[in-house]
Structure 1
C-alpha cells in the first residue's frame, strides 16, 4: 500500500468534542471499526499500549499525540487525524509527564517496521514551522488532504 492511500478524507475529523483520552479512543475506535480498518479489540489494545508507552509529543510549534495500536488489531493500514474543539490531557512520550493537546494522528500499521518510519517522519514534520502553520490553517478535510499531499509528493512524509 502506498503511504498516500493511508491519508483518506474519511479519516479526518475536525471539531470532535470529547473530554478525555479514553473517550477519544472509544469514539475513534468505533469509527475505524465501522469503516473496516480495525478489529473490535482495537480500542482495548490502544488503551493498554498508551498506558505503557504514551504518545504525547511536545514540539516547538504544536503539541500533538501519535497513538498507535499493535499490528494484530489493524485490518487495513491508516492514519486517522483529528483536531478536538478543546485540548485534553495526555501523557508525554518518554517521561509520562502530562501535557495538553487537541491534535491527534492515530497510526494503524500492520508492519511494525513501517510504523517506526512513519512515527519518525511525522515527528520531523511537526518540527517544520511551515508545515505546522499550513496544518493549523486547514479547516476542512479537503484542505488538510491538500496540505498532506504536498509533503507526500515531496517525500517528506513517508514510512521508509
Structure 2
C-alpha cells in the first residue's frame, strides 16, 4: 500500500474542541472505530504508547505529534490529520518530560509494520519542507487540506 492510499478525506478533523490530549485521542479513536479503521483497543493503546514513547516534534515553524501504536489495534491503514482549536501539551520525542504545544497531529494507523519506516520518512521529509508547513497552516477546510496533503504525498 502506498502512503497516499493511507489518506482519507473523512479522516481530516479540523477545529476539534479537545481541552486535553487524552480527550483528543478519545474523540479521534471513536471516529476511527465508527468508520471501521481501528479496533476498540486502539484509543487505550495509543494513549499508553504515547506515555512510553512520546512522538512530539518541535519544528522550526510548528509543532507536530505523530502518535501511533501496534498494528494489532488497526483494521485498515490510515493517516488521520487533526487540528485542534487549542494547542495541546505533548511530550517531545526522545525525552521523558519536555513538553511542547502541538499545532497538528498526524495520527498513524499502520497495519503492516514494514510500512512504518517508509511512512515516517515521508512525513519527516514533508515536515521539513517550508512549503508543506505553509500549506498546512493556510488550508482551513477539510477538502482543501486533504487535497493539499494528498498532492504533496504524491510528489
TM-score (norm 1): 0.92
- Counterpart Cα distance in 2 of 1:42 and 1:99: 24
Length, aligned pairs only: 154
- Counterpart Cα distance in 1 of 2:109 and 2:130: 26
Match for residue 24 of structure 2?
A: 24
TM-score (norm 2): 0.95
Match for residue 118 of structure 2?
A: 117
Q: Which runs of 5+ in 2 are unaligned?
A: none
- Counterpart Cα distance in 2 of 1:146 and 1:29: 23
Task: Tell me how far 1:116 sits from its aligned partner.
Answer: 2.0
Match for residue 149 of structure 2?
A: 148
- Counterpart Cα distance in 2 of 1:77 and 1:102: 23
- Counterpart Cα distance in 1 of 2:154 and 2:12: 19
- Counterpart Cα distance in 2 of 1:102 and 1:52: 21
Question: 1:40 and 2:48 equivalent?
Answer: no
Q: Which runs of 5+ in 1 are unaligned?
A: 155-160
Alignment of 1:34-113 (within 5 A): 34-96=34-96, 97-113=98-114
CA contact (8 A) 1:85 1:102 kept: no
**CA-to-partner distance for each residue in 1:115-136, whole Å, 9 max, x for gaps?**
1221121122111111100111
